[in-house]
Structure 1
Amino acid sequence: MNFEHLLKQVAFIHEIDKVKYILRKTKLFNSERNENDAEHSWHLAVMAIILAEYANEPVDVLKVVKMLLIHDVVEIDAGDIFLYDTNISHTNTAAEQKAAERIFGLLPTEQAEELIAIWEEFESGETMEAKFARAMDRLEPLLQNISNKGGTWKEFDVRYEKVLEKKGVIAKGSEHLWAFAKELIDESVKNGILAVAD
């Protein structure tokens, strides 16, 4: 038996363990501990399963889950860029594309091509699955910040207008979830955990 195919898969499995060490700025719900990318991806995947009924159109949930489980794998090489970073663009496609090709390229060709295509679909945000996956990616940190009484919004002086701008992506995947999120954002201002621009 030729183990070359399996050895490539195992090499990929070893490599993605590094996702567990990539810390995000956002903290766990009601916690002082930063979330890591693996926790984030797992949480989003479960959210997609639970909230799929709210997608603007029916979605292939398995495809959405695949997107969410692999979408941050590129951060092993490219690093995590904070959504509200004012110095670096959150969209670092050149570095991330190179990372996707290297990391997914560890896999046998057919699997590598499939995962690169799914990752690229998520990044382009054009299909309904990608739009819904991206909605999950924006909703989870919002819920975390609210649970942490402002969280990264307060820590990095992020204002209401910027939150609306960045979180508006949720509407492309789910108008229902955006209406819910918008209400939470507005309540955050009333509750003093999110400031408006001066």
Structure 2
Amino acid sequence: MSEETRPLLVDRTPFPEGLDERLRAQLTFLVEVDRLKTVLRQSPLAAADRRENDAEHSWHLAMMVTVLAEYADEPIDVGHTVRLVLLHDLVEIHAGDTPLYDDAGAVDQAEREAAAADELFGLLPADQTRLLRAHWDEFEARRTPEARFAKAMDRLQPLLLNWLARGGTWRTPGVTAADVRARKAVIGDASTPLWEAARRLIDEGEARGWSRPAP
């Protein structure tokens, strides 16, 4: 569905006439991304008996970047990395969440998310459309130290939640501890010490029976 036909949240209570058009577009986008709070992920919360939503996940990544930046293997711009993690999952407003171990969903994930990026960022003024889309593309490509560290946080955060849940999505049918290691290995592309810590948690989780051993 295109942005011309998909109803916007602001359509329910339109802004008054006379607002500056640039500001109107920006506020329309900011209202629309409130939908991120409704996109549920598979990860269980550590502090409550429910699943995490995408907005909570993105906030947690921003906090992790702020706290863990010292462990990056390459110097990173913390502010820019925070922007990347805050933007990275906005496309799931329209594309939906694709769980890490959902191989079938991953087949068309890139196509769905790219179309969603065009639609969502296209609500903004043209200069900000280009800027935010460039940031999103940077995260996806992982060609910069900031993007690699942002991706590492995206893999580390649910690992922490699954540890607290004594398995969580590690118990997904068909998933083994070897699968978890393989999917989390990108942490090592950005931070050697954080990958060493992550592997220790995965190994210990396997030893405790929270994930399946490789056949």
Q: Where on the TM-score scale, by shorter chain, does this alignment land: which range?
A: over 0.9
Q: Distance in 2 between matches of 1:96 and 1:166?
A: 19
* Gap regions ≥5 residues in structure 2: 1-17
Q: Distance in 2 between matches of 1:17 and 1:8?
A: 15
Q: What does 1:166-185 align with in structure 2 at a 5 Å threshold?
A: 166-185=183-202
Q: Distance in 2 between matches of 1:44 and 1:124?
A: 18
* Gap regions ≥5 residues in structure 1: none
Is 1:88 the counterpart of 2:108? The answer is no
Q: Distance in 1 between matches of 2:123 and 2:82?
A: 21
Q: Distance in 2 between matches of 1:64 and 1:91?
A: 26
* TM-score of the two chains, using structure 2 as the length reference: 0.88
Amino acid at match of 1:191: R
Q: Distance in 1 between matches of 2:24 and 2:175?
A: 45
Q: Distance in 2 between matches of 1:88 and 1:112?
A: 27
**Where does residue 213 of structure 2 map in the other structure?**
196
Is 1:23 the counterpart of 2:40? The answer is yes
In structure 2, relative to structure 1, the CA distance for the partners of 1:148 and 1:47 (3 Å cut) is same
Moved more, 15-24 or 151-160: 151-160
* TM-score of the two chains, using structure 1 as the length reference: 0.96
Which of 134, 143, 156 is residue 117 of structure 1 equivalent to?
A: 134
Q: In the TM superposition, what is the alpha-carbon distance from 1:94 to its structure 2 partner?
A: 1.6
Q: Could you list the runs of 4 or more consecutive aligned residues of structure 1 that deviate by over 6 angstroms after TM superposition?
A: none
Per-residue CA distance 1:54-97 (angstroms, 9 max, x = gap):
00101011111001001000001111000001322177222111
Is 1:43 the counterpart of 2:60? The answer is yes
Q: Distance in 1 between matches of 2:82 and 2:124?
A: 19
In structure 2, relative to structure 1, the CA distance for the partners of 1:90 and 1:67 (3 Å cut) is farther
Q: In the TM superposition, what is the alpha-carbon distance from 1:156 to its structure 2 partner?
A: 3.5
In structure 2, relative to structure 1, the CA distance for the partners of 1:75 and 1:174 (3 Å cut) is same
Amino acid at match of 1:141: P
- Secondary structure of the residue aligned to 1:24 is strand
In structure 2, relative to structure 1, the CA distance for the partners of 1:46 and 1:90 (3 Å cut) is farther
- Secondary structure of the residue aligned to 2:27 is helix
The answer to whether the Cα contact below 8 Å between 1:64 and 1:133 also exists between their aligned partners in 2 is yes
Q: Distance in 1 between matches of 2:62 and 2:111?
A: 25
Whose radius of gyration is greater, 1 or 2?
Answer: 2
Which of 129, 136, 144 is residue 161 of structure 2 equivalent to?
A: 144
The answer to whether the Cα contact below 8 Å between 1:83 and 1:90 also exists between their aligned partners in 2 is no
Is 1:77 the counterpart of 2:84? The answer is no
Moved more, 3-12 or 83-92: 83-92
Q: Distance in 2 between matches of 1:148 and 1:155?
A: 13
Amino acid at match of 2:192: E
Per-residue CA distance 1:111-150 (angstroms, 9 max, x = gap):
1111000000000011110100000000010011110010
The answer to whether the Cα contact below 8 Å between 1:30 and 1:147 also exists between their aligned partners in 2 is no
Coordinate RMSD, CA, aligned = 1.4
The answer to whether the Cα contact below 8 Å between 1:45 and 1:68 also exists between their aligned partners in 2 is yes
